[in-house]
Structure 1
Amino acid sequence: MTHQTTHPTTDQTTQLNRIGFDDIDTPVLSATLDEVGYVYVDGIPESFDHAEFLRTRLGPLLPQYDGQTVWSIRPDQRFEGTYHSLNSRRLTPHTECYEWQDAPPKYLALWCLVPNSDAGGQTTLADGGAFVASLDADERERLSQVEYHFVSSAGLQEMQLGRTARHPVLEQRPGRSPILRFSCQCIADADEFCQDIGDRLQRFFDRTKVSVEFTAQSLLIWDNHRFLHSRNAFTDPRRHLRRVWIAEQERTEQ
């Protein structure tokens, strides 16, 4: 297993943490997700069953907004004018399923069927846990105490798949790691404090993000309770990824 890191500056994207297909046995994968918070795997053969591997190694797959366990992500002209994962526009930093009443998926995973052939289209990640650690104690306390009204994106609402929930941005859980919930687009009642946190989080994201250029069959997994993700705009209509959500579960000794 290879861990590749650099110390980012304001003009630098952090180097991607990559492991090869031969290293994604359970101990390596779990250790990398615990330590680093995400992992990118390439060199995957075409016959590999991504969804089944993730289900057996990390946990149950949760239904997507449409009730299916696998969500297909490729541009659809119907949504080009709407903020939606199913278009080619930029997505702003967010965690996933912030508008769920229950706990959001522990892990998100994306794999590539057809990689982007032009500029753009990279998935980008940044460590929200590190951002929270950079705040002072009063700010962390306020993020843990004040509840905000989270709503689904405009695209999901257009598809009649929208949800809504009230949560603090930072949910502290005794005996478990906290859950960070955030969206630059979908907090309906963001106050001045929340907006300031969002501005600072965007700058932190831009300064520390990792950028993923997918190749065919490659796989990206990250801790959704800790990391935020976004996407750069692109123009290639063939770009096609698939996504699953993985439920939180108790770890057992391997």
Structure 2
Amino acid sequence: MTTAQHAATSRLNYQDLSVPALRDLLDTNGYAYVDGIPGDFDHVAFLTRIGPLMPQYDGELIWSIRAEERFAELYHSLNTKPLFPHSECYEFTGRPPKYLALWCLVPSDDGGGHTTLADMYRFVDGLSEAERTHISTRTYRFFSSAGVQDMQLGRVAEHPFIEYRDGRPPIVRFSLNNVDKSDDEVLPGVLNRAVEYFDQEHIAVNYATNSLLIWDNHRMTHSRTGYTNHGRHLRRVWLDET
């Protein structure tokens, strides 16, 4: 999907924002981007109409994403480096958040810092039946990134790559670098093809001040392009399934 298609299919202007309109885009495309938001808009109050807030790594409900020098040499969202495609909370023992939402306080002004997204349901549909069966019936050891571990907030959990559920859409847990794939003959190839798919199919979101991006974390993988503006500042919430 090109950026132009993204703008046409999953973008809402603030004047058209409503819970039904947002849910429709999330159900159809897996994500929604809202711009034209005024400065006095209460992002948190609106998002709680989509789902209940979940505590994040540090137990708080709102996580600030702003580069810190202490994390410059670690793999971490709190620096300016690119991130690999991943889902969120693959290393949590319970159900990961259904939705991730980011809103922008200070955008990057250097052409970087884009959030990139790709639909993993489409990728999984393209796997062979044998591959889907293998990665949905075997559990894998997922662990926190180096940056989260450095904050003494690391976790470890075991899950299948795809979790099929009765009466609910599946959960795809994805990490390229924080999953133990050493004793599996199928997963390494699947991961490599997933990254190729992500590189070809992702959309890129360039934030404006106050803009909001929300996506289905059970369906979409996300990453980030690198940037140099240390003033870039986003806030994030996790929303549980209802």
TM over 0.5: yes
Distance across 1 between alignment mates of 2:4 and 2:211: 20
Distance across 2 between alignment mates of 1:212 and 1:205: 14
- Per-residue Cα deviation, 1:78-119 (whole angstroms, up to 9, x for no partner): 001000000000000000000011000000000000000102
In structure 2, the residue corresponding to 1:126 is in which secondary structure?
strand
2:105 to 113, 120, 127: 113
1:152 to 144, 150, 154: 144
Q: Where does structure 2 lack aligned partners over 5 or more consecutive residues? A: none
Q: Where does structure 1 lack aligned partners over 5 or more consecutive residues? A: 1-5, 250-254
Distance across 1 between alignment mates of 2:69 and 2:15: 38
Q: Is the 8 A contact 2:85 2:222 kept in 1?
A: yes
1:235 to 206, 228, 241: 228
Runs of 4+ in 1 over 4 A off after TM superposition: none
Q: Is the 8 A contact 2:116 2:203 kept in 1?
A: yes
Match of 2:124 in 1: 132
Q: CA deviation at 1:188?
A: 2.4
* Aligned amino acid, residue 208 of structure 1: E
After superposition, residues 78-227 of structure 1 pair within 5 angstroms as 78-190=70-182, 191-227=184-220
2:18 to 22, 25, 32: 25
* Aligned amino acid, residue 65 of structure 1: Y
Q: TM-score, normalised by structure 1?
A: 0.91
* Aligned amino acid, residue 27 of structure 2: D
How many residue pairs align between the two structures?
A: 239
Q: Judging changes above 3 Å, is the alpha-carbon distance between structure 1 residues 13 and 95 closer, same or farther for their aligned structure 2 residues?
A: farther
In structure 2, the residue corresponding to 1:141 is in which secondary structure?
helix
- Per-residue Cα deviation, 1:187-227 (whole angstroms, up to 9, x for no partner): 02443421111110001001010100000000000000000
What do you get for the CA RMSD once the two structures are aligned? 1.3
After superposition, residues 52-71 of structure 1 pair within 5 angstroms as 52-55=45-48, 57-71=49-63
Distance across 2 between alignment mates of 1:22 and 1:162: 41
Q: Percent identity?
A: 51
Q: Judging changes above 3 Å, is the alpha-carbon distance between structure 1 residues 179 and 79 closer, same or farther for their aligned structure 2 residues?
A: same
